[in-house]
Structure 1
Amino acid sequence: MRLTRSIRAAVAAALLLAATACGSSGGGGGSASTGLNPPDLKAPTKLGKPEGQVNLIAWAGYVEDGSNDPKVDWVSDFEKQTGCQVRSKVAASSDEMVKLMKTGEYDAVSASGDASLRLIASGDAAPVNTDLVPNYKDVFPDLKMQPWNSVKGTAYGIPHGRGANLLMYNTAKVKPAPTSWSAVFDGASAYKGHVTAYDSPIYIADAALYLKATKPELKIKDPYALDQKQFDAAVDLLKQQNKNVGEYWSDYLKEVSAFKSGDSVIGTTWQVIANLAASEGAKVKAFVPKEGSTGWSDTWMVSAKAKHPTCAYKWLDWIVSPKVNAQVAEYFGEAPANAKACEQTSDKSFCATYHAGDTAYWKRIAFWNTPIEQCLDGRTDVKCVPYAKWVQAWTEIKG
């Protein structure tokens, strides 16, 4: 069972480098253009001799060596096979990952989309030569060369796993069954004090996604590319929601407990939380509402200052190899990135439950990306609100 990715509203890391010519951040494969002009860094053309060590920054549950659970260990075999001793640091937030990568003490990081563009733009993450990662060929095509892991046709990492932010509700207390995010926004007063929401500045995108569908006059195309008017509308919606929120969650165990006790009856969740809550007796269902959902896709990125680049590449290939990727996905609670991992899961229905290869499902998910001034939706006549201001606004929203 996953430990958690506890996202806290810390002060945002350094602002992104200025960029020109915005490109589209829409889904689909091919060359992704984000409007960034990152430093001119080169990916290696070949690997050298393993350096004997690799220093990693990761979400809890991504680098398990048996110390948390003797049955959960995919690090020991990696060390035996490569000679690369793993030293890992668990990060509590994307902001912490960005800060740690700037020290130059780490070789690779499991970055989510709300950190990856910051790392690319600042020159802390280097381009990745996917030819040096043999298992990359089996990664689902719709995870490759996306706006959060590539810039202008250059890959900056290896996809690891993904998940959607779902709407969960108590089937006994929320009737009729909701179909829309309106249940936690415009209609939230019906459950005053029992609404729960994800505790992170990136949650502003959830409000923007809802407004994209319900307020077409705002002309929102990308929930991570908001001009000031669009951003203000999303913030206002969340301030209204705040009056009905009983708890903002970042620890999944607290959300499970709240739904079991009835303190929370509706709000945003992850599939793994819904599964656990149901297994412990909570009467809950979770789904993607009609407007779609936000979600995450994590990427292993290599530091531009990596002292152990060969061991870092060995790790990237190992973590997305079928057996290991299956182990991580089941332990963490997300869809694996490697299509062949689905043959290796202990629960043979796991990939179906997590929609691993369901392309139509993922087309409804707006994966986390890093908000920057150069609008990710392609607009050049306005500036969009950068992530640092999302962090400031989140503090205001919560009061």
Structure 2
Amino acid sequence: MMKKMAAPAAMAAALALALTGCASDGGGEEGGTGALQIDVPEIPMIEELGENESEVNIVAWSGFVEPAWSDEFTAQTGCTVNRKIAGTSDEMVQLMRTGNYDLVSASGDASLRLIVGGDVQPLNQELIPNFGDDIVEGMQGQIYDTLNGVPYGVPIGRGANILQYNEDEVTEAPTSWDVVWEEDSPYAGKIIAYDAPIYIADAAVYLMAHQPDLGITNPYALDETQLAAAVDLLKQQNAIIGDYWADPVKQITAFNQGDVVVGTSWEVLRKLSENPSLQGLLPSEGSTGWSDAWMLSSKSKNPNCAYAWMDYTSAAEVNGQIAMNFGMAPANAAFCDTSDEAAEHCELFNAEDEEYFSKVWFWTTPIEQCIDGRTDVTCTNFQQWTDAWQTVKG
């Protein structure tokens, strides 16, 4: 039903990066094609396709590879789809490094690790005809799956981490994240937050707006001083937290039972809760979010079937089915015009609203190169975030 169902495991060891050049130009849009320049393993791009193999092995979030469309794909291509469900980005990285899988539906907190580690290969978009003009602009050439102007990912869908609240308890609709961060929050003890090191970025988004002197311009580019400030804010929040969640079922249950009344959520969780009292919004500070993409293993044994799958799932109808099944905005905007149901789904998830998503900072692996363009300091990496998160949770 949902992705990231399992509690997050410890993050992977620190990235050993040989870094060159500059990075993003800031803003909720984390930079366009080629914004991040770093040294990566030289892995050749496939120039032309051959005959399809007999299978394709895919690591995916729950809900991304279902019989309804994988059987049709097999009938069209002769490629049998073998699916492995993963519960966390860490698990995906570990599985892809075994060399046993051809494709992965990677989120931004895994993709840079896979690219820099040489675990995935550059993609030839000319071999993916359905990757065309209908793929929304905001999901093309982004910093989490495009390096040195070279694409490594085929967009699947995206979503924001919204502020959800129970209007029966939170009678004045909030406009800011302050209700979950400030120690004098009237909802202390009934606040819920996401349980993962990447949540440090949520603290950084809040600090960008409320402590500008810290100089944070990208929540995934934190030097040691900025990381320390984010950790201090997280520890302050920890004192007023009612619960943390990584399992969506736990989050839905906590809201529906009244254990919590405000906190971090996804739009689909509000829908699945079937609780009319739950409302959601993107606060004034903006938010973090996630964007998923198909990535092809550098050791793929079935690259032709893998390319066929990426093309098949980029078509409007199939991409839309995946988006509706999981609960996210589709990458292919043409889906929104296929039916009234599709249009309603796209409206709920802001599929074509680039102004909305311009305020969303999509998960991006923290690395030592400051992706905000600074060259006079070293930024903190994923392992440092993982260690810091442990100090928050105790």
TM-score (norm 2): 0.95
Give the alignment of 1:216-365 within 5 angstroms: 216-277=212-273, 279=274, 281-344=275-338, 346-365=341-360
Which residue identity is paired with 1:90?
A: I
Query: Does 1:41 pair with 2:37?
Result: no
2:11 matched to 1:15?
Answer: no
**Deviating more after overlay: 162-171 vs 178-187:** 178-187
On the 8 A contact 1:260/1:282 being kept in 2, the answer is: no
Paired positions, count? 390
Conserved 8 A contact 1:107-1:306: yes
Give yes or no for the alignment of 1:377 onto 2:372. yes
In the alignment, the residues of structure 2 paired with residue 261 and residue 33 of structure 1 have an alpha-carbon distance, to the nearest angstrom, of 45
Equivalent position of 1:208 in the other structure: 204
CA RMSD of aligned residues (A): 1.5
Give how far 1:81 is off. Answer: 0.6
Q: How is 1:61-140 mapped onto 2 (pairs within 5 angstroms)? A: 61-65=63-67, 73-137=68-132, 138-140=134-136
Q: Which residue pairs with 1:70 in the alignment?
A: none
Separation of aligned partners in 2, 1:357 and 1:342: 9
- Matching residue's letter, 1:333: G
Residue 296 of structure 1 contacts residue 367 of structure 1 at CA under 8 Å; is this kept in 2? yes
Q: What corresponds to 1:68 in structure 2?
A: none
Following the alignment from structure 1 to structure 2, what is the Cα–Cα distance between the partners of residues 396 and 276?
A: 33
- 2 CA distance for matches of 1:3 and 1:295? 14
| Residues in 2 aligned to 1:25 and 1:156: alpha-carbon distance in whole angstroms | 20
2-side partners of 1:309 and 1:25: how far apart?
A: 34
Q: Shift of residue 175 of structure 1?
A: 3.3
Q: Is 1:13–1:98's contact at 8 Å kept on the other side of the alignment?
A: no
Structure 2 distance, partners of 1:199, 1:372, is 20
CA shift digits 1:273-296 (9 cap, x unpaired): 11122x2x3511100000001000
Letter in 2 for 1:196: I
Match of 2:209, SS state, is: helix
Partner Cα separation in structure 1 for residue 95 and residue 268 of structure 2: 28
Give 1:11 shift: 3.6
Change (3 A) 1:358 1:11: closer
Q: Structure 1 counterpart of 2:220, which letter?
A: Y
Q: Residues 311 and 257 of structure 1: is their aligned pair in 2 closer, same or farther, counting only changes over 3 Å?
A: same
Instruction: State whether residues 25 and 32 of structure 1, in contact with CA within 8 Å, keep that contact through their aligned partners in structure 2.
Output: no
Change (3 A) 1:29 1:220: closer
Distance 1:215 1:382 in 2: 20
Deviation at 1:30, TM superposition (A): 4.3
Matches within 5 A, 1:47-62: 47-62=49-64
Is contact 1:25-1:147 (8 Å) kept?
Answer: no
- Do the aligned residues in 2 keep the contact of 1:17 with 1:122 (CA within 8 Å)? no
After TM superposition, give the deviation of residue 35 of structure 1 in Å: 3.4
Q: CA deviation at 1:17?
A: 2.3
- Cα distance in structure 1, aligned partners of 2:127 and 2:169: 53
Q: State the distance in 1 between where 2:188 and 2:207 align.
A: 21
Among 188, 198, 211, the residue aligned to 1:192: 188
User: Relative to 1, partners in 2 of residues 1:100 and 1:4: Cα closer, same or farther, differing over 3 Å?
Assistant: closer
Report the alpha carbon displacement of residue 144 of structure 1 after superposing the two structures with TM: 0.7
Counterpart mapping for 1:21-32 below 5 A: 21-24=21-24, 26=26, 27=29, 30-32=32-34
Partner Cα distance (1:366, 1:94) in 2: 18
Q: How much has 1:2 moved relative to structure 2?
A: 3.4
Q: How far apart, CA to CA, are the structure 2 residues paired with 1:2 and 1:97? A: 15
Matched residues in 2 for 1:16 and 1:112: separation?
Answer: 20
Alpha-carbon distance between aligned partners in 2 of 1:3 and 1:188, rounded to the nearest angstrom: 33
Q: What fraction of aligned residue pairs are identical, expressed as a percent?
A: 49
TM-score norm. by structure 1 comes to: 0.94
1:135-174 matches, within 5 Å, as: 135-137=130-132, 138-174=134-170
Give the secondary structure class of the aligned counterpart of 1:110: strand
Shift of 1:32: 2.9
How far, CA to CA, are the matches of 1:187 and 1:286 in structure 2?
22
Runs of 4+ in 1 over 3 A off after TM superposition: 1-7, 344-348
Tell me which amino acid in the other structure corresponds to 1:36.
Answer: I
Larger displacement relative to structure 2 (359-368 or 181-190): 181-190
CA contact (8 A) 1:188 1:195 kept: no
